[in-house]
Structure 1
Amino acid sequence: MEDLRQLVVDTIDANKGVNITCIDVKDKSSVTDYMIIATGTSERHVKALADHVVAETKKLGITPLGVEGMKVCDWILVDLGDVMAHIMLEKTREYYQLEKLWQPDFQADQAASG
């Protein structure tokens, strides 16, 4: 699971995803253990980041349980079971503020340090 989490973070980083944040939600969610939230610079970039995450995990024999949002591409969710990747446009990320939902004490400047 730690390897999967790191693979997703590294894949997004290698493909120029920005403000990558990993939140441990093991004690807060029965659905997943980690949420990775990242920003893409355009709808095309958001889709490309999600495509890269899917491709890299499939190389390890891990097929996503689901991928949602590919038609609109302002927010794509890649569900890998223990890890969920939320890849969003900046405006969408600012609007929904998932970090604050899962970490009420989260400060926006923490996203940069990921």
Structure 2
Amino acid sequence: MQTDALTAFVIEKLEDMKGRDIVSLNITDKASFADYMIICSGNSNRHVKSIAQSVATECRAAGSEPRGMEGNDVGEWALVDLGDIIVHIMTDEQRDKYNLEQLWAESE
């Protein structure tokens, strides 16, 4: 699946799982490890874990095997590595603490 199509697919799956405040950042010119970073919030640790697992499962079913997953054991911040796309699912507390949107905006 092409990167833009996969990005749209992931956002759709995040919405299906009731992920909140979804943001997609084009980081092509800022990082060599990915083209896009998608960030969303979950309501609880359980919700964060559930969203991350669902995204990985749906991408796998669509033919885009995740390269890895991190943080799904605790559930405060889960990461799904889809190669050109990195998906961060966080509780509100973690999202406020690390403020990735601001961090990546400041790197311009």
TM-score (normalised: structure 2): 0.94
Other-structure match for 2:106: 104
Offset of 1:104 from its aligned partner?
2.5
Gaps of 5+ in 1: 106-114
Other-structure match for 1:55: 57
When the two chains are superposed, the root-mean-square deviation of aligned CA atoms in Å is: 1.1
Question: 2: CA distance between counterparts of 1:7 and 1:17?
Answer: 14
What does residue range 1-114 of structure 1 map to in structure 2 within 5 Å? 1-104=3-106
- After the TM superposition, which parts of structure 1 deviate over 6 Å for at least 4 consecutive aligned residues? none
Q: How many residues align?
A: 105
Question: 2: CA distance between counterparts of 1:16 and 1:45?
Answer: 9
TM-score (normalised: structure 1): 0.89
Question: 2: CA distance between counterparts of 1:54 and 1:29?
Answer: 22
**Secondary structure of 1:103's partner?**
helix
Question: 1: CA distance between counterparts of 2:106 and 2:28?
Answer: 16
Gaps of 5+ in 2: none
For CA contacts below 8 A with separation 6 or more, give which structure has more relative contact order: 1
% identity of equivalent residues: 42
